[in-house]
Amino acid sequence: MVKEFSIVSELESIREKKRRLSERESELSTPLLKDSDLIPVVHEMFKDILSEIDPLPDVESITQRKKFLFIILFLFAPSVLAGGRMPNGVRKVLEEVFPNVRPCTISNNIADVSFLYQQYKDFRQDIEYLYTEIVNRLKFKGLIN
């Protein structure tokens, strides 16, 4: 059986769609911050913001750690939240920020955060508030535009 020549135009169309999708993926996965040395700075901001909330949440709780991880991943490696690979250096700094937490626990928490954000309105609202406050403080300090 001879293939129909119309497949040529279909192949061209598919290649064009793949190119546009790759460009969009690249845009969406570009991090707002790249210097992983800023992670401890963001953690301090995160703790400061939590200290202003009444009633005072437990900064060391698993839930707060997961919120912080989501924000860090969104700032430094948004593609990780969609199953992408963690950039070099980010995990190491996270291990330093959470010295009493095993690396595998951090990895497991990372696997959870996207699900929690999508499924739980309170979790999502807390992250959106914390993220906005952190970004405003980073802008105020001139660390982002």
Give the Cα separation of 7 and 133 in Å (integer): 52
| pLDDT mean values, one per 10 residues, the chain (145 residues) | 80 96 94 94 97 89 95 95 88 90 86 93 96 97 90
Task: Write down the pLDDT at residue 5.
Answer: 81
pLDDT at 1: 55
Q: In the prediction, which pLDDT does 39 show?
A: 96
Query: What string of H, E and C letters represents the secondary structure of the chain?
Result: CCCCCCHHHHHHHHHHHHHHHHHHHHHHHCCCCCCHHHHHHHHHHHHHHHHCCCCCCCCCCHHHHHHHHHHHHHHHCHHHHHCCCCCCCHHHHHHHHCCCCCHHHHHHHHHHHHHHHHHCHHHHHHHHHHHHHHHHHHHHCCCCC
The pLDDT of residue 2 is 59
pLDDT of 102 reads: 86
The first and second tokens of residue 114, run together, are 């996207």
